[in-house]
């Protein structure tokens, strides 16, 4: 569930229950009649409700997102969640459009080679001309940057890029903390990390991979568009919200096991 959508829904829920302004009653008499006193009461109630809405809206931003309730799933559902990832060694080439801000984007080529068994990754970013901007390898958690041209030469960029590649191409390790189906029938597999963050795979019409921070806020969301070629989605849209927002639109050019 998108964090922003959730906030919007909460707001709408409260809004619908807020009393709508009503016309003044026709007292037709002198002094402060019953109708006028009633109007003052309603005004006071209206102010209180408005304040309550404001408090609720503020608190909605402070609270972590509650987990979606899941109906119990079967053990074999775990394999279904893993269908989004290549099961063996692979290499792939993507056309990437990186959008840092709306109207500010860049076009790149991405090459990734991986081996899920050994948790090995080798990834490159190239200009359309074919020149290497960034190249790194990863074995388990150790990242080695082989080449990095400015502005892709910061350690933060290397960590962020490799986190994205891991998120998109490697299934989470270990047993999921939760496994089941949402009310809409989508199969969900959820893993808790030691730092409190969560990774979630949701198999709905558009399969999704989600990453939430330890507060439950959505940090990254990847939408994978079928068909899958050798375990690789034809199209991926990665939306990053935290710590820095950006969007990657990836089109699979080639993928081989």
Partner 1 sequence: MKKWARNKILHLCSAMAVAGLVSVMPGYTQDWASVKESFRNIRSVKAEFLQERHLQILKDPLVSQGRFFYLASGALRWEYLSPLQSVMLQKGDSARLYHFSDGAWKQDLAQGVEARRMVLAELSHWLQGRFEESKIFSHVYSPSPSGRILLTPKEGINRFILGIEIVLSDKPGVIDRVEIAEPGGSALRIVFRNVEINSSLPSELFDKP
- The residues that touch partner 1, with contacts defined as CB under 8 A, are 91, 93, 95, 97, 100, 103-107, 109, 111, 113, 122, 124, 126-133, 149-151, 249, 253-254, 256
Residue spans of beta strands (DSSP E) within the chain: 71-72, 90-101, 104-115, 120-126, 132-139, 142-148, 178-181, 187-192, 198-203, 208-212, 218-229, 232-240, 246-256
Q: With respect to partner 1, which residue has the nearer C-beta, 76 or 102?
A: 102
d(CA 31, CA 163): 71
| Residue located via tokens 């082989």 | 146
Q: With respect to partner 1, which residue has the nearer C-beta, 127 or 139?
A: 127
* Coil, strand or helix at 14: helix
d(CA 82, CA 87): 8
Q: With respect to partner 1, which residue has the nearer C-beta, 92 or 210?
A: 92
d(CA 105, CA 133): 16
**Nearest distance from C-beta of residue 111 to partner 1, angstroms:** 6
Q: With respect to partner 1, which residue has the nearer C-beta, 119 or 182?
A: 119
In angstroms, the Cα distances linking 159 to 38, 85, 137, 152 are: 63, 21, 11, 11
**Nearest distance from C-beta of residue 113 to partner 1, angstroms:** 5
d(CA 73, CA 181): 6
Q: With respect to partner 1, which residue has the nearer C-beta, 61 or 257?
A: 257
Q: With respect to partner 1, which residue has the nearer C-beta, 90 or 191?
A: 90
**Nearest distance from C-beta of residue 114 to partner 1, angstroms:** 11
**Nearest distance from C-beta of residue 162 to partner 1, angstroms:** 15
**Nearest distance from C-beta of residue 133 to partner 1, angstroms:** 8
**Nearest distance from C-beta of residue 163 to partner 1, angstroms:** 20
Closest CA to 202 of 181, 218, 183: 181
d(CA 133, CA 192): 34
């Amino acid at each position: 569930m998108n964090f922003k959508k959730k906030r919007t829904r909460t707001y709408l829920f409260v809004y619908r229950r807020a009393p709508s302004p009503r016309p003044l009653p026709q007292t037709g008499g002198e002094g402060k009649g019953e109708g006028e006193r009633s109007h003052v009461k309603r005004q006071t109630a209206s102010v209180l409700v408005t304040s309550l809405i404001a408090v609720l809206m503020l608190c909605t931003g402070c609270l972590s997102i509650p987990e979606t309730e899941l109906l119990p799933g079967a053990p074999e559902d775990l394999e279904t969640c893993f269908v989004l990832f290549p099961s063996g060694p692979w290499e792939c080439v993507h056309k990437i459009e990186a959008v840092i801000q709306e109207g500010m984007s860049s076009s790149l080529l991405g090459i990734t080679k991986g081996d899920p068994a050994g948790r090995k990754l080798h990834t490159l970013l190239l200009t359309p001309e074919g020149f290497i901007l960034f190249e790194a390898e990863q074995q388990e958690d150790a990242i080695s940057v082989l080449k990095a041209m400015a502005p892709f030469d910061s350690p933060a960029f290397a960590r962020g890029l490799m986190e994205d590649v891991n998120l998109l191409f490697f299934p989470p390790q270990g047993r999921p903390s939760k496994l089941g189906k949402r009310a809409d029938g989508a199969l969900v597999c959820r893993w808790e990390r030691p730092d409190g963050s969560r990774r979630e795979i949701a198999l709905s019409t558009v399969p999704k991979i989600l990453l939430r921070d330890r507060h439950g806020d959505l940090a990254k969301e990847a939408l994978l568009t079928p068909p899958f070629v050798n375990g690789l989605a034809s199209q991926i849209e990665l939306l990053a919200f935290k710590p820095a927002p950006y969007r990657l639109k990836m089109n699979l050019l080639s993928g081989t096991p």
